[in-house]
Amino acid sequence: MSDTGSSERADISSVFPSFPAEGAENPGASDAAPTDAGVAGDPRPAAPSGSSEVSRTAGDPAGDGAGEPRKIDPKEYEQPFGRPGRPLRSNPFMFGLTAALGVLTAWLLVQSIASAGSAIVLIIVSLFLAIGLNPAVEALQRRNLSRRLAITIVFGGVIAFFVAFGLAIVPPLTDQTTGFIQHLPEYVQQLQNHPVIRSVDQRYQVLEKLQQYVTSGGLASQMFGGLLGVASVVISALFSGLTVLVLTLYFLGSLHSIKETGYRLVPRSRRTRVRLLGDEILRQIGGYVAGNLIISLIAGGVTFVFLSVLKVPYALALAIFVAVTDLIPMVGAVAGAVVASGVGFLTSVQVGIACVIFFIVYQQIENYVISPPVFKSSVAVPPVATIIGALLGGALLGIVGALLGIPLAAAVLLLVREVVFPRQERV
C-alpha cells in the first residue's frame, strides 16, 4: 500500500471515523474507497454490507447498473456539512435585496454630499483661488525666488486685502448703525409733523402703537435676537474666510504634487495627452481667476480715486465693495455701481449724476480696453457659453457658482474641441 493512499484514508477517517477502510473487507485492493454503510446523514442509499464498490464504467456513467455501485470520491467528504448548493443568482428575492441595497447606498451618498455641501463649496473655492494665484507665484519664481518665498509674498498680499476690506467696512457700518439709533426720536418727530403721516396716524393710531411697542420691550427683545443672528452670521463668515485662506495656502503649496498624483491615476498610455490637456485647463482657469482679480483691483482703485475727489463719504468702503462685486459676471459691476451711485445721491443730486456717468463710461472702458489685453492669453469663451456658464453656476452654487461657471465652461469647450471633435471626425 502506498504512503499517499494511506495518508488520504487517514485524513478521511479522522473526519468520518465511522467509515471502515475498504482494506478490512478486501486487503488486496490498495486504492479502494470506503463504503456508504454507517455514514450518518448521507443522502445516498447505503451500500449492502460486505459488498465492495467499483469504479463507474464508461458505459454506465450514472452508476445505475445492478451490482456496479459507483466509487465514492473522498473529496465529497472534505466538508463536514456537505457540498454547497447552486448560487442564488436567479432568485428574485436576492435580486430585489441587492437592488434595494444599491438604492439605499446611493441615497445615503447623496444625503452625505448634501450635508457636506458647505464644506465642499469652501474646498472648491480654495482650490480655484490657489489655481488663480499660482501664475503670480510662478512669475515670482522666474525672478529667482524660491517657491516658498513667492507663496509667502502672494499670500501676504491676499491677507492684506482682506484686512483692508474689514477695516474699511466695519467702522462705517458701526457708525451708521449708532447714528440711526441716536437719531431715531428725531425721525419719529419728523413723521409726526408730516401731513400725510399725521392724517394716517389720526385714523389708525400708527405712531401710538409704535410707541407702545417700543416701550413694552418687544423691540428690545427682537433687536437682541436680531443682533445674535447677525453675530452668528458674522462669526460663520469669519470662520469660512479663515478656512478658505488656510486651504488656499495648503493647495498653493502642494499644487504640483496634487497635479502629479492626479496624472498618475491615468493609464500610462494616455498620460501624456491627459497631462497636456490638464495643464492647459489649469492655465486657462488660473489665467481667468488672476485676470478677474486684476480687473477688480483696477475697478476698486479707480472708484476710490473718483469718490475721494467728489468727497463722497466712505469712499474706501464703497471702492472695496465695487471691487468685490466686479468679480461677479454680468450683474456684479451693475450692483456695485448702483450702491456707489446711491450713496452719491444721498450726498447731493449732482454727485449722484456724476457717479452714474462715471460708472457707465468706466464699464465701456473696462469691457473694450482693459479686459481684452488681460484675458487674451488666458481664456476664450464665446458670449453664449459665458452667459450659460454663469447662469448654471449661479443656479447651482449661487455667487460662487457664477464665479466658477465661466472657467469651467472654458475647460468643457477645450475638451470638446480637442477630444470630442477629432474622435467624431475619425468615425
Crossing angle of the two packed helices 332-347 and 349-365, in degrees rounded to 10: 160
Copy the grid coordinates of residue 173: 457700518
In the block, cell 437592488 appears at 99
Largest CA distance in the chain: 130
CA distance 144 to 142: 5
Residue 140: closest CA among 158, 154, 156, 157: 154
Domain ranges of the chain: 1-84, 126-426
Burial, 87: exposed, middle or buried (Cβ in 10 Å; 0-12, 13-18, 19+)?
exposed
Confidence (pTM): 0.58
In a structure prediction context, what are the per-residue pLDDT tens digits for the chain, which is 427 residues long?
A: 455 445 555 554 454 454 444 444 444 444 444 444 444 444 444 444 444 444 444 444 444 444 555 565 555 556 667 776 666 666 777 778 888 999 999 999 888 888 887 888 888 888 888 888 888 888 888 888 888 899 999 888 888 877 877 777 777 767 766 666 666 666 666 666 767 777 776 777 666 666 666 555 555 555 555 555 556 766 877 888 888 888 988 998 888 888 889 899 999 888 898 898 888 888 888 888 778 888 888 998 899 899 989 988 878 878 888 888 888 877 788 888 998 898 888 788 898 899 999 999 998 998 888 877 776 655 666 777 777 877 887 777 777 777 778 788 878 888 888 888 888 888 7
Q: Residue 72: CB partners within 8 Å, gap ≥ 6? A: 33, 34, 35, 36, 53
CA distance 410 to 229: 39
Burial, 410: exposed, middle or buried (Cβ in 10 Å; 0-12, 13-18, 19+)?
buried
Answer for the pair 284, 378: CB distance below 8 angstroms, yes or no. yes
CA distance 57 to 63: 8
In one letter, which amino acid is 380? A
pLDDT value of position 39? 45
Answer for the pair 137, 252: CB distance below 8 angstroms, yes or no. yes
What DSSP assignment string belongs to 209-278? HHHHHHHTTHHHHHHHHHHHHHHHHHHHHHHHHHHHHHHHHHHHHTHHHHHHHHHHTS-HHHHHHHHHHH
Residue 127: closest CA among 393, 374, 407, 321: 407
Helix residue spans in 310-382 (DSSP H): 315-325, 332-347, 349-365, 371-375
**CA 298 remoteness from chain centre:** 31
DSSP 417: I
Answer for the pair 68, 54: CB distance below 8 angstroms, yes or no. yes
Residue 251: closest CA among 289, 296, 277, 280: 289
